[in-house]
């Protein structure tokens, strides 16, 4: 509840649910997400019951196994994993370049397991546990601090200047026909401004056009003319309607080249539950006011490379950036620059925009790439390959940012190996529970035989 409390206000304000029902929906989601740490706790308790205090050190495996499951079951909801708590502790956070965020989750769980073990132990056992964990933590932080200070990734590759356009359009105005002209002219003027200041690549937020691109010839032509005028590629979010026997609606990102032509279209793969599709909607009868006016999006099928300045970039739309595997797939396919476009106006002045930005920052560390983020109401900004925030906007402000990034081709260990630590955690937890279960079944038989 502490990390997703804001979903209730989103459903009430923009989904049309009565406040009471919106709170119930938030509580249901919280209850579902709570199943995973609860499952980890049950596993740890079972292991400790049969293996004693040393079994506390299975806690990192049990936690990571269930956290990883939360990230893919029923489409996944990997919002704020435990490891993301370290994203601003840059020395420790560099571990993500080797193990991904799940390795950081394991480290945090290990430190806490050591504390629990020490509190319940005495003498040398306590000292050994605390000392071993302390040495590991100091080693990780020391290496990570050296990595950040060495900073070779900020000197490699090809420098490039990106312009991030934060239009600060109120959510209630986005699809108001009377506001369409103002919204579009705002983005046009801001694009010209960042281009004058040297932007070689202009990025607008998710769903930034007040029209459906490819369905409004006059507006399409004006946008293509703008790309030709500023002589820079423009990435922007818009809905896309495809009619090829059936009609499908996509949340898409379009890349216009400097000549005004469409050079790439990326369709959002991971859709937001209850925002872009309605899971189990036949069962959620209490949400009829929302379902009745809900038009579901179709998911995209693949990651698309964006040709920019002779290099390849990628983008993630909104919530997608919380999926480590999706961003890794982009880098495997050749992405030299990570971008993400989003509309966080939904979240209001809650903690959600800050959580979202922090989650995006972790992807930069994992992949060793610059990350540029354009958000309608903020936070827009640039994060370097070590997770340092180069620039960040204030929320609910209108700002055009021009920042230098670099196209990079080197790969981190994590980008090469993926979520190996999560697979090991799952296997270790399953094996430990199986062995524990076998011993518990054997013990009553032995007691009976002795009697």
Catalytic residue numbers, as ranges: 206, 268, 318
Identify the helix (H) or strand (E) that includes residue 383.
strand 381-383
CB contact at 8 A, 404 and 371: no
- The SS3 assignment for 373 reads strand
CB contact at 8 A, 231 and 202: no
* C-alpha to C-alpha distance for 306 and 313, rounded to whole angstroms: 5
CB contact at 8 A, 4 and 29: yes
Do strands 234-243 and 201-203 pair parallel, antiparallel, or not at all (unpaired)?
parallel
Residue with tokens 């400097």: 258
Give bridge partners of residue 375 from the DSSP assignment: 342
322: closest CA among 340, 306, 299? 340
CB contact at 8 A, 88 and 100: no
Identify the helix (H) or strand (E) that includes residue 13.
helix 7-13
* C-alpha to C-alpha distance for 69 and 47, rounded to whole angstroms: 20
* C-alpha to C-alpha distance for 148 and 244, rounded to whole angstroms: 50
CB contact at 8 A, 58 and 435: no
Q: How many CB atoms lie within 10 A of CB 87?
A: 22
Give bridge partners of residue 160 from the DSSP assignment: 405
Residues 6+ apart with CB under 8 A from 250: 239, 240, 241, 242, 267, 268, 297, 298, 300
- The SS3 assignment for 336 reads coil
* C-alpha to C-alpha distance for 314 and 328, rounded to whole angstroms: 11
Which tokens hold the place of 125? 């056992």
């Amino acid at each position: 509840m502490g990390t997703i409390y804001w979903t209730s206000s989103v459903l009430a304000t923009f989904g049309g649910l009565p406040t009471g029902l919106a709170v119930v929906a938030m509580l249901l989601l919280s209850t579902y997400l709570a199943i995973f740490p609860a499952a980890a706790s049950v596993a740890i308790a079972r292991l400790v019951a049969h293996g004693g205090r040393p079994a506390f050190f299975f806690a990192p495996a049990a936690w990571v196994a269930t956290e990883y499951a939360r990230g893919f079951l029923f489409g996944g909801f990997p919002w704020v994993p435990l490891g993301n708590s370290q994203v601003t502790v840059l020395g420790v956070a560099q571990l993500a370049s080797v193990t991904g965020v799940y390795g950081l989750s394991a480290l945090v769980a290990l430190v806490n397991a050591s504390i629990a073990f020490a509190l319940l132990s005495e003498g040398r056992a306590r000292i050994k546990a605390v000392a071993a964990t302390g040495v590991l933590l100091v080693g990780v932080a020391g290496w990570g601090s050296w990595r950040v200070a060495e900073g070779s990734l900020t000197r490699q590759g090809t420098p490039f200047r990106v312009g991030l356009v934060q239009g600060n359009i109120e959510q209630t105005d986005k699809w108001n026909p009377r506001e369409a002209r103002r919204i579009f002219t705002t983005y046009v003027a801001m694009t010209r401004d960042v281009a004058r200041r040297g932007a070689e690549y202009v990025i607008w937020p998710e769903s930034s056009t007040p029209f459906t691109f490819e369905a409004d010839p006059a507006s399409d032509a004006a946008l293509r003319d703008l790309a030709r005028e500023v002589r820079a590629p423009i990435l922007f979010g818009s809905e896309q309607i495809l009619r090829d026997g059936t009609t499908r609606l996509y949340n898409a990102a379009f890349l216009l080249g400097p000549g005004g032509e469409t050079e790439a279209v990326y369709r959002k793969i991971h859709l937001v539950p209850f925002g872009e599709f309605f899971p189990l909607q036949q069962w959620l009868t209490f949400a009829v006011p929302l379902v009745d006016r809900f038009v579901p999006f179709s998911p995209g099928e693949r990651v698309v490379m964006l040709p920019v300045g002779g290099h390849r970039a990628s983008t993630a739309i909104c919530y997608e950036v919380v999926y480590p595997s999706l961003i890794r797939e982009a880098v495997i396919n050749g992405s030299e620059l990570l971008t993400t476009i989003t509309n966080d106006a939904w979240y209001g002045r809650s903690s959600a925009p800050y959580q979202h930005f922090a989650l995006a920052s972790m992807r930069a560390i994992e992949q060793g790439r610059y990350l540029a983020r354009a958000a309608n109401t903020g936070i827009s900004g640039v994060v370097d390959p070590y997770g340092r925030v180069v620039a960040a906007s204030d929320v609910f402000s209108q700002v055009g940012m021009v920042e230098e990034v670099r196209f990079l081709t080197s790969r981190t260990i994590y980008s090469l190996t993926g979520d190996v630590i999560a697979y090991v955690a799952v296997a270790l937890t399953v094996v430990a529970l199986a062995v524990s279960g076998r011993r518990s079944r054997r013990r009553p038989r032995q007691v009976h035989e002795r009697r």
